[in-house]
Structure 1
Amino acid sequence: MSESDWSIDSDWSIDGDTVSPSDTEDECSASSATPSLLQWSNDIQPAKICPFKMKPGLKESCGKTPVDFFKLLFNRSLSEFLVNNINNHALKLLNQNVQNQQGRRFKQVTLNEFYVFLGLLLNVGTMNADVIDATQPLVEDPEEYMSPVRFMFILKCLNFEHELPGKTDKMSKISHMIDYFNIMMKKVVHPTRVLCIEKSITVLCYENVYILTDEFGLALKLAVYQSEQKPGPHVAKTLLEDKLDVGHSVYMSEDYNSLELTRFLINRKTYVTGPIKRKRFGVLKEVKDKKLEKGEKIVKYNTDGICVAKWRERREVIMVSSEHNGEWKEYIDTYRQKNKRPSCVLEYNKYKDSPEKHEEMLGQYYCSILCGEKTRANNRFKILGVHILEMLVLNAYILYNKYGGQAMSLIDFRTIVVKHLLSHGKRVRV
């Protein structure tokens, strides 16, 4: 993800924005707005901010080593679920092709062998990283732990589907992993006050993956939609539904923001700051149609404490905030010169890169073994499942650096985790 994708100065095609179906169907549509949403003035209406009611940190006691934090998020029940799925899928392959000699000789995967397989799978992503020293490979001889044929067969049988009666939709192939990720993150950590929403672009699959992160890049929740579903306020509502009423400050891009959503959240003691699309319902006509010269702004406030500010530097940007106002605020720019921008713009720019921190760290160790052009379509849910496993490892690293022992680099953390997994057994040569 490039810096321009996030920058408030990026080249947005504001005039070409369209309202997606999700905008008209969202619960927070314009039809549900009360008159207070429409009562706007030039006078500052201070937002009534609820003090943040949580103390960020771990909910559960944990050891101080990288392995302890890895086990905190990747527990035995998930391993047993995946082992059971691998063995069941292997039997299906055997029954479908009784002539398959490899299938005839298949020996069921044990829990220890799965840990070795997982270690080698994570090692594939580690070897892709530019930071690894080619003269000191993480695993000098992977075949000491598992033969290539065995590894590829287990990878072929790896699946994340939770088979339940009546579940026939495609998303059931990955829903268990999404639920596991969301439940575990809610179970183990109290998030910080600042939350951010953005789409994940690291994972190479055909689904749209949206993540809720804190200001340090810790992924707190996932929402996955099929590719034909467009982003909108419904994504934000899904990601925030269990984070309301405690005083969170949420920063999101124009893809998920709307005035109606902002008002809905302010009534649930949750505050929003971010750009908004010109044609999304509820944007003030007076603000939307006002032509500005460079350095000019127009700001309106309503009785709920919501601020709508249109400001022009290189191009026009419309911001909405239920926490920050549109008054000028000085800052030092990249040329070490004093400059000024609306306060809501500066606050948004301060936190907007938080999901990018997560994406950058995850992208360094992306496991691309399933992502060939010819195989990606067939492995779409397997790619997403492995991606979620990698997210769990990254979250364990972020939590370790915040609440564990001595801080370390991600490559060192992954090295310790991989060696721990490989310690569960070596290949027995016959």
Structure 2
Amino acid sequence: MSSSNLSEVSDQLAEMFSDTEEFSSSSSSSSSSSEDEEPTPAQGSSHEPEAEGWTSTGSLQTFPFSGVAHFTIGPAESPIDFFNLIFNSTFMAMLVSSINSHGLHLMVKSSDGPNAFKWNNTNEDEIRIFLALLFHMGHITLTNLNDYWSTDVLYDLPFKTFMSQDRFLSILRNLTFSDNNSYNNTDPNRYVKPIMVFFNSVMKTLVNPSKNLTIDQSNVLWRGQLRIRQTGNGQKYGVKLFALTDTNGITQKMHMYCGSQATVLQGEDHADKVVMMLMEDYLNTGRSLYTDNFCNSVTVAENLLQQRTYLTGTLRANQLRNPMITKSRIARGTLLTRYNARGVCVTNYRDKSNVLMISTEHHSDFVQSRNRHGKVKQTPKVIVEYKKYMRGVDRKNEMLSYYQSFKKSTKWHNQIVIHVMQVMLLNCFNMFNEQMKRSGDNSRPMSFYDFRLKVIKRLLKLDTPTDRLTQASNIPSTSASQKITTDAGDVIHSPAYLPKNDIGKTKRKDCRHCLKKRNIRKASIFYCPLCIKKPGLCITCFGEFHRY
């Protein structure tokens, strides 16, 4: 067939299939493509992030900090004053109501069973004693919870003086923060959400934080079956909590991660939503946020920039919209930097391993820094600033780990409530020391241990080690027994007669020691007026009970 005939056939085919996608694409490909040309990547493709306009040089946005860091604490001065600021009457009323409601619910639920649960309503005074004992357990680590009430000679602890073991365990079992209508709810957050809401609200009222804030995530250990259980961050299994903290270690806001069970913050961009939720009260003021790689991405950085808020932190290499340098292998001591047009800087620095950083506030210029061994070295400024402001979070987590209360419990939400109350107590301490510093007090800052002891003693009405004994010794008695004091000043308990009734007959009490140790009921006309519960004791058991 001649070339003219071939041309004529081609024209006819083109006319017949001119409307089809297959022919038009193939004809355009054959007519416009050449072997030397490469395909152009699609704009916005996640496979070619450099198409977004990443360059090796660029500038960052600047805006001033318009907030003012201050406390709203009134005349608070002593440790117990700061304790009462956060553990206020609203908190106590909510906690008492929740515990009583849950206790009555369990009692009704188990009333027909062989192991019926009995519950007597608690009150604020008893809860304050309960919290004091709970916090004091953080100072004394024991394997078994029962050992705190043991009368064995190896365990000489004051817990039994203030509350019985059965009562403590009964309150601990009902330690929730929920309302009356939450028992049929499938939301795993139902037992702890009210305390989170209260905590976030009261901290917003008391503290206006400084410019630099951090978001930290931690796991509260829990090994049992739980739909929202997570792994990582030093704990093999646990419930993940996010916390917004300032540079003084004061936690401003908390959020519990519920994964697929979440009712609001869920989906693929869950981390982005958490960041914006925690920061919602502090946007548009020129604040700087420092976070780890779980929360960071180019999109989050740009969203915060639109709200006049900086972001700095580590970055994961597999995040969408990352520049190509995040996957580059470079020599030790070198770095690569890329900027986009919106003011986001991404850095790949090689030290012992690759460190990826993202920032909208700090460049990657090398500056001198000193490591923990005192050695001076050249480090990118973005890394120096990140370590500087994340140190407050590390210190907070370290201090929380020192005095953890007894961990074994029947329910996971007990652990969350206890953890939140530990954070509240640490906030009281940090606010106390920061206020002392602002007031010009140049004395040595109080340690967390001493602060806790002062609070516990006030909750138990023990300003000094002998206050409780002194108060008990003022109780009138029909006995001529007096308080005996040794040469060293130690108070020795001595027996006293029980008072007489209306007809002049001496009352009697069962000897507590005979009943508990020998399982014998033995009536006695003697008791100890210096013990908090004034137990009945026979003369034979008096010395053994007090370990004389």
Equivalent residue for 1:362? 400
How far apart, in 1, do the equivalents of 2:51 and 2:449 lie?
Answer: 50
How far apart, in 1, do the equivalents of 2:185 and 2:307 lie?
Answer: 33
Aligned amino acid, residue 395 of structure 1? N
Equivalent residue for 1:39? 53
Distance change in 2, residues 1:60/1:148 (3 Å): same
Equivalent residue for 1:183? 201
- Structure ranking higher on relative contact order (CA contacts 8 Å, 6+ apart): 1
CA apart distance, 1:304: 2.5
Residues 50 and 323 in structure 2, CA contact (< 8 A), matched pair in contact too: no
Q: Where does the alignment leave 5 or more consecutive residues of structure 1 unmatched?
A: 1-29, 130-138
How far apart, in 2, do the equivalents of 1:289 and 1:143 lie?
Answer: 61
The more displaced of 183-192 and 87-96 is: 87-96
CA apart distance, 1:99: 6.7
Distance change in 2, residues 1:82/1:37 (3 Å): farther
How far apart, in 1, do the equivalents of 2:393 and 2:84 lie?
Answer: 24
Distance change in 2, residues 1:179/1:36 (3 Å): farther
How far apart, in 2, do the equivalents of 1:37 and 1:393 lie?
Answer: 50
The more displaced of 152-161 and 402-411 is: 402-411
1:394 aligned to 426, 430, 449, which one? 426
Equivalent residue for 1:170? 188
Q: Deviations over 1:279-309 (max 9, x none)?
A: 1111012x13433111221112223222111
Aligned amino acid, residue 282 of structure 1? R
Residues 211 and 222 in structure 1, CA contact (< 8 A), matched pair in contact too: yes
Distance change in 2, residues 1:146/1:101 (3 Å): farther
How far apart, in 2, do the equivalents of 1:56 and 1:291 lie?
Answer: 43
Aligned amino acid, residue 151 of structure 1? F
Q: 5 Å matches for 1:376-415? A: 379-404=411-436, 407-415=445-453
1:283 aligned to 322, 325, 340, which one? 322
1:97 aligned to 82, 88, 110, which one? 110
Aligned amino acid, residue 404 of structure 2? Y
Distance change in 2, residues 1:141/1:332 (3 Å): closer
How far apart, in 1, do the equivalents of 2:188 and 2:248 lie?
Answer: 33
Q: What's the C-alpha RMSD, in Å, of the aligned pairs?
A: 3.0
Residue 248 in structure 1 maps to residue 287 in structure 2: yes
CA apart distance, 1:251: 1.0
Name the SS of the counterpart of 1:171 in structure 2: coil
Residues 288 and 310 in structure 2, CA contact (< 8 A), matched pair in contact too: yes
How far apart, in 2, do the equivalents of 1:258 and 1:222 lie?
Answer: 21
Q: Deviations over 1:343-377 (max 9, x none)?
A: 11111122223212111111111112435xxx4xx
Equivalent residue for 1:316? 354
2:97 aligned to 84, 93, 103, which one? 84
Name the SS of the counterpart of 1:238 in structure 2: helix
1:158 aligned to 175, 181, 187, which one? 175
Equivalent residue for 2:246? 214
TM-score by length of 2: 0.64
Residues 202 and 359 in structure 1, CA contact (< 8 A), matched pair in contact too: no
Name the SS of the counterpart of 2:61 in structure 1: coil
CA apart distance, 1:429: 5.1
Distance change in 2, residues 1:422/1:219 (3 Å): same
1:144 aligned to 145, 149, 161, which one? 161
How far apart, in 2, do the equivalents of 1:104 and 1:73 lie?
Answer: 32
Aligned amino acid, residue 190 of structure 2? S
Residues 107 and 118 in structure 2, CA contact (< 8 A), matched pair in contact too: no
Aligned amino acid, residue 280 of structure 1? Q
How far apart, in 2, do the equivalents of 1:169 and 1:37 lie?
Answer: 43
Distance change in 2, residues 1:181/1:204 (3 Å): farther
Q: Deviations over 1:127-163 (max 9, x none)?
A: 239xxxxxxxxx9522121111111112112222234
Residues 119 and 421 in structure 1, CA contact (< 8 A), matched pair in contact too: yes
Q: Deviations over 1:78-119 (max 9, x none)?
A: 111111222222222322333789978643212211111111
1:49 aligned to 44, 62, 65, which one? 62
Distance change in 2, residues 1:316/1:42 (3 Å): same
Name the SS of the counterpart of 1:160 in structure 2: coil
2:123 aligned to 92, 95, 110, which one? 110
Q: 5 Å matches for 1:324-339? A: 324-334=362-372, 336-339=374-377
Distance change in 2, residues 1:340/1:388 (3 Å): same
Q: Deviations over 1:261-289 (max 9, x none)?
A: 0011011111011111111111012x134
How far apart, in 1, do the equivalents of 2:93 and 2:161 lie?
Answer: 24
Residues 198 and 210 in structure 1, CA contact (< 8 A), matched pair in contact too: yes
Residue 119 in structure 1 maps to residue 158 in structure 2: no
Distance change in 2, residues 1:429/1:183 (3 Å): farther
How far apart, in 2, do the equivalents of 1:348 and 1:161 lie?
Answer: 38
Equivalent residue for 2:87? 74
Name the SS of the counterpart of 2:352 in structure 1: coil
Residue 194 in structure 1 maps to residue 212 in structure 2: yes
1:259 aligned to 269, 293, 298, which one? 298
Name the SS of the counterpart of 1:241 in structure 2: coil
Residues 217 and 354 in structure 1, CA contact (< 8 A), matched pair in contact too: yes
CA apart distance, 1:427: 4.4
Residues matched between the structures, number: 383
CA apart distance, 1:318: 1.7
Q: Where does the alignment leave 5 or more consecutive residues of structure 2 unmatched?
A: 1-43, 143-155, 224-228, 230-238, 261-265, 463-467, 469-531, 537-548
How far apart, in 2, do the equivalents of 1:319 and 1:160 lie?
Answer: 39
Name the SS of the counterpart of 1:109 in structure 2: coil
CA apart distance, 1:44: 3.3
Equivalent residue for 1:349? 387
CA apart distance, 1:250: 1.0
Residues 233 and 255 in structure 1, CA contact (< 8 A), matched pair in contact too: no
- Structure number with greater Rg is 2
CA apart distance, 1:227: 5.8
How far apart, in 2, do the equivalents of 1:143 and 1:421 lie?
Answer: 16
Aligned amino acid, residue 458 of structure 2? H
Aligned amino acid, residue 297 of structure 1? L
